[in-house]
């Protein structure tokens, strides 16, 4: 089932998601970003950085609303970071609002961590190799898709969320509809695409919207039906699992890391054999689940952490363990090597791709990161694999645009002049130089007054409008031009395009003179013919009058055409 939905129509090709993604799980095709599911670990960072809101998580809100209004009994499994989302609300206030929405049982996912912790501690103490916690589905995805050689190091136990769903169904009924709510995108993948007892899932943002849509305002306090105690509550905070399992960091029994880059660094060290800690807690989100992609950003991470600790302080550990009948083998899981190997180009192919985007030597490889990739070579490999486009290279496209613009500017048959609002010349193309600059020095940087009257340029800027097809005669240069002048406000320049119509005007004048001469000759013919007409008028009668009229009409027509 699809976890992340790409709304390509909204993508504006800014590459922020590519720059943010540490594992290159975002491809580009036809200038639209798309999720490479073979690589994606569903950390959710692309969702938070996209200014257009193009990627969205799967949303089961409407299905859940329908279930809540039906006859099925429901349990809401709340990730412990939920309290960090509402630091000003008590658990009772939150429970009351959720009951008002229609959930029958309000339960804390941390109960799953209570069940898991002693089993995980036993696994770490009895296994020879290091044990990586499987609580974070983003980390599990990272290992399965990018570090499959470390799969043997993953804990063989289910995550707290999956264990909690099993616990609720065992306690109440197998028909119970378990709905998990959390801050995590990867949890959607874990819940819906694996062997899971979670029936439906919501992000905290989606749950918050349901609360608002149903008009629940935390008015009536309620009861947490299934609550947790002790250190299991601090699982969503960095180092939470280490503390919950009782391992000592100081004597190198355990280590922890959070944030995708730190997780990758630790996995690389594990891969090379340079780490020998017994237990490794890794969380994909920096600082832990309290900084997940769907948790409210209205409060600082410190305040969110404090909210979790405040709950923890009011809930001392149980005298006895949470009652359940599960054995470790009932809570075990199987991992899969999901690494996809894309074809790799050889060095010659990489060089050909680099040349196609204007990188002819190492000096040209600026590695600016504007495309989202860390280096030009990395980007070239992605192009070869069909995951990126040449047009993503900003320096290349800039040079291409400048080159095209320069070709048009330099080869235009018209004069092009670009000036600032202070009438300082910015650009003077070769035709403009030929028409107006009969000096040896370049016009760039000089006042337009030195060459032509800037009146029309000033008018275009002041009135913020285009001036079209203005004919202007320059006596100094003995030329006539047809001008189109327009302001470009965002760049604070005025552009003038001048067509030299001097020869055209000369030809028009010559035609006019020829017509005038033809008219004069026609009139002379009329006068000469009149003398003859008068002598034989009596013989020709009306025919003569018609001839005379025709000649005069011809003369008038020629004159009118002038």
DSSP three-state, residue 426:
strand
Closest CA to 25 of 255, 338, 271, 312: 338
Give phi and psi for 56, each to the nearest 5. -130, 150
For the chain, the structural domain boundaries read 58-331, 342-411, 413-500, 509-561
Contact 375, 354 (CB under 8 A): no
Residue 544 has pLDDT above 80, yes or no: no
Tell the residue number behind the tokens 């590459």, with chain if given.
15
Predicted local distance difference test score (pLDDT) of residue 315: 85
As a whole number, mean pLDDT of residues 380-396 equals 87
Closest CA to 41 of 59, 17, 25: 25
Predicted local distance difference test score (pLDDT) of residue 81: 94
Q: What is the pLDDT of residues 45-77, one digit of tens each?
A: 999 999 988 899 999 999 999 999 999 999 999
Confidence of residue 400 (pLDDT cuts 50, 70, 90): confident
Residues belonging to the chain: 562
Closest CA to 385 of 345, 338, 340, 339: 345
- Residues 76 and 421: their CA atoms lie apart, in Å, by 65
Residue 244 has pLDDT above 90, yes or no: no
Predicted local distance difference test score (pLDDT) of residue 45: 95
Q: Which residue has the higher pLDDT, 159 or 544?
A: 159
- Residues 249 and 323: their CA atoms lie apart, in Å, by 29
Which two three-digit tokens encode residue 298? 């209205």
Closest CA to 228 of 328, 136, 106: 106
As a whole number, mean pLDDT of residues 354-364 equals 89
As a whole number, mean pLDDT of residues 510-518 equals 84
Which two three-digit tokens encode residue 219? 């008015």
Query: Considering the chain, what is the average pLDDT of its residues?
Result: 88
- Residues 132 and 5: their CA atoms lie apart, in Å, by 30
DSSP 225-242: SB---GGGGGTTBTTHHH
Residue 538 has pLDDT above 70, yes or no: no
Quick one: DSSP state of residue 217? -
Give phi and psi for 365, each to the nearest 5. -80, 85
**Percent of the chain clearing pLDDT 70 (strictly above):** 91
Confidence of residue 174 (pLDDT cuts 50, 70, 90): very high
As a whole number, mean pLDDT of residues 281-300 equals 95
Tell the residue number behind the tokens 């960072």, with chain if given.
45
Give me the half-sphere count of Cα atoms (radius 13 Å) on the Cβ side of residue 342: 15
Predicted local distance difference test score (pLDDT) of residue 486: 95
Residue 35, beta-bridge partner list: 26
C-beta pairs of 461-468 under 8 Å, 24+ apart in sequence: 461/421, 461/487, 461/494, 464/489
Between strands 467-474 and 479-488, the pairing is: antiparallel
Which two three-digit tokens encode residue 514? 């020829």
Closest CA to 205 of 58, 99, 89, 312: 58
**Which CATH code for domain 413-500?**
3.30.450.20
- Sheet with 467-474, side-by-side order of all strands: 425-428, 415-419, 493-500, 479-488, 467-474
Predicted local distance difference test score (pLDDT) of residue 395: 80
Predicted local distance difference test score (pLDDT) of residue 320: 64
Q: Which residue has the higher pLDDT, 516 or 190?
A: 190
- Residues 143 and 131: their CA atoms lie apart, in Å, by 13
Which two three-digit tokens encode residue 235? 């699982």
Q: Give the DSSP H/E element, type plus range, for residue 352.
A: helix 347-356
Contact 254, 282 (CB under 8 A): no
Distance between alpha carbon 295 and the CA centroid of its chain, in Å? 20
> pTM of the prediction?
0.73
Contact 141, 42 (CB under 8 A): yes
24 — alpha (psi -120 to 50), left (phi > 0) or beta? left
Q: Which residue has the higher pLDDT, 469 or 408?
A: 469
Contact 207, 229 (CB under 8 A): no
Confidence of residue 442 (pLDDT cuts 50, 70, 90): confident
Q: Which residue has the higher pLDDT, 168 or 554?
A: 168
Q: What is the pLDDT of residues 462-503, one digit of tens each?
A: 999 999 999 999 999 999 999 999 999 888 999 999 999 999
- Residues 342 and 120: their CA atoms lie apart, in Å, by 36
Quick one: DSSP state of residue 321? P
**Which CATH code for domain 342-411?**
1.10.15
User: With the CA atoms of 323, 325, 329 and 334 taken in that order, what torsion angle do they form, in degrees rounded to the nearest 10?
Assistant: -70
Residues 6+ apart with CB under 8 A from 318: 114, 229, 230
Contact 190, 333 (CB under 8 A): no
Tell the residue number behind the tokens 């302080």, with chain if given.
313
As a whole number, mean pLDDT of residues 161-167 equals 97
As a whole number, mean pLDDT of residues 143-153 equals 97
Predicted local distance difference test score (pLDDT) of residue 501: 92
Contact 290, 142 (CB under 8 A): no
**Percent of the chain clearing pLDDT 90 (strictly above):** 60
Q: What is the pLDDT of residues 334-358, one digit of tens each?
A: 999 999 988 999 999 999 999 998 8
- Note whether 342-411 and 413-500 share their fold: no
Quick one: DSSP state of residue 10? G
Contact 125, 273 (CB under 8 A): no
Contact 106, 224 (CB under 8 A): yes
b/e per residue 58-82 (b: at least 16 CB within 10 A): bbbbeebeebbeeeeebbbbbbbbb
**How many angstroms separate the Cα of 251 from the Cα of each of 195, 238, 274, 538?**
37, 19, 16, 141
Contact 84, 51 (CB under 8 A): no
In this structure, how many other beta carbons lie within 10 angstroms of the beta carbon of residue 447?
13
Could you tell me where the DSSP H helices lie in 127-259?
137-146, 160-171, 186-192, 204-213, 240-245
């Amino acid at each position: 089932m699809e976890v992340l939905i790409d709304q390509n129509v909204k993508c504006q090709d800014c590459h922020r998601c590519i720059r943010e993604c540490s594992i290159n799980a975002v491809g580009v095709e036809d200038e639209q970003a798309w999720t490479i599911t073979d690589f994606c670990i569903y950390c959710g960072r692309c969702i938070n950085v996209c200014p257009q809101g193009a990627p969205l998580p799967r949303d089961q809100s409407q299905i859940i609303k329908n279930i809540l209004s039906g006859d099925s009994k429901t349990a809401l499994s709340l990730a412990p970071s939920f309290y960090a989302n509402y630091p000003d609300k008590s658990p009772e206030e939150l429970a009351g609002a959720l009951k008002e929405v229609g959930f029958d049982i309000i339960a804390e996912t941390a109960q799953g961590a209570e069940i898991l912790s002693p089993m995980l501690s036993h696994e770490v103490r009895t296994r020879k190799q290091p044990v990586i916690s499987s609580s974070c589905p983003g980390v599990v995805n990272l290992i399965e898709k990018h570090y499959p050689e470390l799969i043997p190091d993953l804990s063989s136990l289910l995550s707290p969320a999956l264990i909690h769903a099993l616990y609720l169904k065992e306690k109440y009924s197998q028909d119970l509809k378990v709905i998990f709510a959390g801050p995590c995108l990867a949890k959607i993948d874990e819940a819906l695409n694996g062997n899971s007892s979670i029936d439906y899932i919501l992000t905290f943002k989606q749950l918050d919207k349901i609360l608002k849509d149903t008009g629940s305002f935390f008015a009536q306090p309620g009861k947490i039906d299934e609550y947790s105690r002790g250190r299991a509550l601090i699982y969503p905070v960095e180092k939470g699992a280490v503390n919950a399992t009782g391992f000592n960091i100081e004597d190198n029994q355990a280590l922890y890391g959070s944030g995708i880059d730190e997780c990758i660094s630790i996995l690389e060290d594990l891969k090379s054999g340079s780490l020998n800690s017994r237990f490794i807690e890794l969380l994909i989100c920096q600082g832990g689940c309290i900084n997940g992609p769907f948790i409210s950003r209205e409060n600082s991470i410190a305040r969110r952490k404090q909210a979790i600790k405040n709950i923890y302080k009011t809930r001392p550990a149980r005298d006895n363990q949470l009652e359940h009948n599960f054995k470790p083998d009932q809570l075990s899981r199987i991992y899969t090597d999901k690494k996809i190997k894309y074809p790799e180009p050889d060095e010659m192919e990489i060089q050909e791709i680099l040349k196609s985007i204007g990188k002819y030597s190492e000096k040209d490889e600026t590695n600016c990161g504007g495309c989202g990739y860390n280096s030009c070579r990395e980007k070239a490999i992605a192009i070869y694999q069909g995951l990126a486009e040449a047009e993503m290279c900003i320096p290349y496209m800039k040079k291409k645009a400048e080159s095209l613009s320069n070709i048009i500017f330099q080869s235009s048959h018209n004069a092009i002049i670009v000036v600032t609002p202070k009438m300082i010349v910015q650009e003077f193309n070769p035709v403009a130089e030929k028409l107006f600059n009969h000096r040896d020095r370049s016009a760039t940087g000089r006042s337009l007054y030195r060459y032509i009257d800037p009146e029309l340029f000033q008018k275009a800027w002041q009135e913020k409008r285009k001036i079209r097809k203005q004919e202007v005669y320059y006596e100094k240069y003995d030329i006539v031009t047809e001008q189109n002048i327009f302001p470009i406000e965002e760049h604070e320049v005025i552009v003038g395009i001048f067509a030299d119509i001097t020869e055209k005007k000369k030809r028009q004048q010559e035609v006019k003179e020829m017509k005038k001469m033809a008219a004069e000759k026609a009139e002379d013919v009329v006068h000469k013919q009149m003398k003859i007409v008068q002598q034989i008028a009596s013989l020709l009668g009306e025919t003569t009058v018609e001839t005379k009229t025709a000649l005069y009409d011809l003369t008038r027509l020629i004159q009118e055409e002038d």
